[in-house]
């Protein structure tokens, strides 16, 4: 039996994933902390996952993206300690981690802990006097769904550690940009995933009720009102495993960098004549797939520009064809889709969605559909039926409500300094 969908209506063949309230998330994290370490944490902090409305694989090409933060968040209960030791537990992971912060560096930490302790390492490198700490994690951001559970984890640790050392970076946007840089460095150098900063920016610099227009050429961040009204953003987690660090993401990035070098450009953002660029790459002997990667990046930037204009003009329904065109580009030119994602997109549109596309890095993960709110249950039923007919597992669905950035959720007592005293 499925869980009730939006409006309380049960939808066969799918599961619904509700976001926790901040109080629920804080209680879960505190309970995990007490079980692992005893006593109270210095506080509980959280940061959101994200779904990208449009603009995939453009961030590391100095391009444009349009994410929204989710209400689904990762919660961290944390208490500093004076001996430089870090101890980590997670409700989502069977293995705890313990080590000395001074010993952390590229290649020294594997698995989920790299995203957490990597942030502490990067903040130390940025000049913050980060102490050792005990921390317990719990999360309602779906794992492996292309909804940036890794950046939610990084963002929660970033705001927590910023808070306990009293750096104050989370208090203003310029400081949050520094936290984003630390999270990105942690993911690139400690976790070994060459992501471009989109996810971390959404986790730490979002504005409630808005999408973020991100320009990775000049670093600008502009909130765009997302007045969805009678429309909803329906996320379909296909449960096809999504991985950024398995080499496929890196291969796409390397192809783009190779294309920019062949074209004599600092990035693919500078391509102004797509046909001429493709002709030049072919003449230079670039592999055919390199041209396809370039075509996706250039046309995807154009789709972001179109989407921003439509949101600004409250023409939400017209986003549908933009999303569907983006999926065709990701599937055919960037080649990062998979059968589950294609079925989710096709089934959603067939059931009444105004448009749909895969989201995230690809090779699994989630799809996003623009749906009239009155049609959410019907589209969910259509997707579930299509998955059952294809022999796939049960998909999990959520409705994305544009939410705010990471921050402190619950004081849970005075913040302790690195020597164990209150301040």
pLDDT, one tens digit per residue, over 119-129 is: 999 999 999 99
pLDDT surpasses 90 at 4 = no
Work out the percent of the chain whose per-residue pLDDT is above 90: 87
User: Do the beta carbons of residue 66 and residue 211 sit within 8 Å?
Assistant: yes
CA proximity to 35, closest of 86, 82, 96: 96
Phi, psi of 370, deg, nearest 5: -90, 120
pLDDT surpasses 80 at 302 = yes
- Residue 47 confidence (pLDDT): 98
- Residue 115 confidence (pLDDT): 97
Other CB atoms within 10 A of residue 103 CB: 12
- Residue 5 confidence (pLDDT): 57
| Mean pLDDT in residue range 180-198 | 92
pLDDT surpasses 70 at 281 = yes
224, burial (CB in 10 Å: exposed 0-12, middle 13-18, buried 19+): buried
Query: Which of 199, 215, 333, 346 is flagged as catalytic?
Result: 199
User: CA 145 from chain center: how many Å?
Assistant: 9
Local confidence band at 422 (pLDDT 50, 70, 90 cut-offs): very low
pLDDT, one tens digit per residue, over 303-356 is: 999 999 999 999 999 999 999 999 999 999 999 999 999 999 999 999 999 999
Give the Cα separation of 127 and 114 in Å (integer): 20
Instruction: State the DSSP H helix or E strand holding residue 130, giving kind and residue range, or none if neither.
Output: none
Active site residue 163: no
Local confidence band at 193 (pLDDT 50, 70, 90 cut-offs): confident
pLDDT, one tens digit per residue, over 363-400 is: 899 999 999 999 999 999 999 999 999 999 999 999 99
Domain 231-400's class?
Answer: alpha beta
Question: Which CA distances in Å does 377 have to 310, 323, 402?
Answer: 25, 20, 20
- Residue 248 confidence (pLDDT): 83
Give the Cα separation of 186 and 177 in Å (integer): 14
- Would you kindly state where each structural domain of the chain is located, as residue ranges? 19-224+403-410, 231-400
User: CA 122 from chain center: how many Å?
Assistant: 19
pTM of the model: 0.89
pLDDT, one tens digit per residue, over 346-372 is: 999 999 999 999 998 888 999 999 999
- Residue 294 confidence (pLDDT): 98
| Mean pLDDT in residue range 147-161 | 96
pLDDT surpasses 80 at 63 = yes
Which of 135-149, 237-251, 265-279 has the weakest average pLDDT?
Answer: 237-251
Is domain 19-224+403-410 classified as CATH 3.30.230.10? yes
């Amino acid at each position: 039996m499925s869980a009730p969908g939006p409006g309380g209506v049960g939808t066969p063949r799918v599961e619904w994933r509700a976001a926790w309230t901040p109080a629920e998330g804080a209680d879960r994290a505190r309970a995990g902390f007490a079980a692992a370490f005893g006593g109270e944490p210095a506080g509980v902090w959280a940061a959101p996952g994200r779904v990208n409305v449009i603009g995939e694989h453009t961030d590391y090409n100095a391009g444009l993206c349009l994410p929204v933060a989710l209400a689904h968040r990762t919660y961290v209960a944390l208490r500093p300690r004076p001996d430089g030791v870090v101890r980590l537990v997670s409700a989502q992971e069977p293995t705890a981690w313990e080590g000395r912060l001074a010993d952390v560096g590229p290649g020294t930490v594997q698995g989920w802990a790299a995203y957490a302790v990597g942030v502490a390492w990067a903040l130390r490198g940025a000049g913050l006097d980060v102490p050792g700490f005990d921390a317990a994690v719990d999360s309602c951001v779906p794992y492996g769904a292309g909804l940036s559970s890794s950046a939610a984890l990084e963002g929660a640790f970033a705001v927590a550690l910023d808070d306990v050392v009293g750096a104050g970076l989370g208090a203003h946007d310029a400081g949050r940009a520094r936290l984003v840089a630390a999270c990105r460095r942690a993911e690139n150098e400690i976790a070994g995933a060459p992501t471009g900063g989109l996810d971390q920016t959404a986790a730490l610099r979002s504005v409630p009720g808005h999408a973020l227009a991100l320009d990775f050429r000049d670093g600008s961040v502009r909130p765009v009102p997302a007045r969805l009204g009678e429309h909803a953003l329906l996320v379909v987690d296909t449960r096809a495993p999504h991985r950024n660090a398995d080499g496929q993401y890196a291969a796409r990035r390397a192809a783009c960098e190779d294309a920019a070098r062949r074209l004599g450009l600092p990035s693919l953002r500078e391509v102004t004549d797509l046909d001429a660029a493709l002709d030049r790459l072919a003449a230079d002997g670039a592999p055919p797939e390199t041209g396809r990667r370039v075509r996706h990046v250039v046309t995807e930037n154009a789709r972001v520009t179109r989407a921003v204009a439509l949101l600004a003009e409250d023409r939400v329904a017209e986003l549908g064809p933009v999303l569907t065109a983006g999926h065709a580009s990701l599937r055919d030119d960037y080649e990062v889709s998979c059968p589950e994602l294609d079925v989710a997109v096709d089934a959603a549109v067939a059931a009444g969605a105004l448009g749909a596309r895969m989201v995230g890095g690809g090779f699994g993960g989630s799809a996003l559909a623009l749906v009239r709110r009155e049609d959410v249950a019907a589209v969910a039923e259509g997707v579930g039926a299509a998955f059952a007919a294809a022999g796939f597992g049960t998909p999990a669905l959520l409705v994305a409500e544009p939410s705010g950035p990471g921050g402190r959720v619950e004081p849970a007592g005075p913040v302790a300094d690195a020597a164990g005293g209150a301040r």
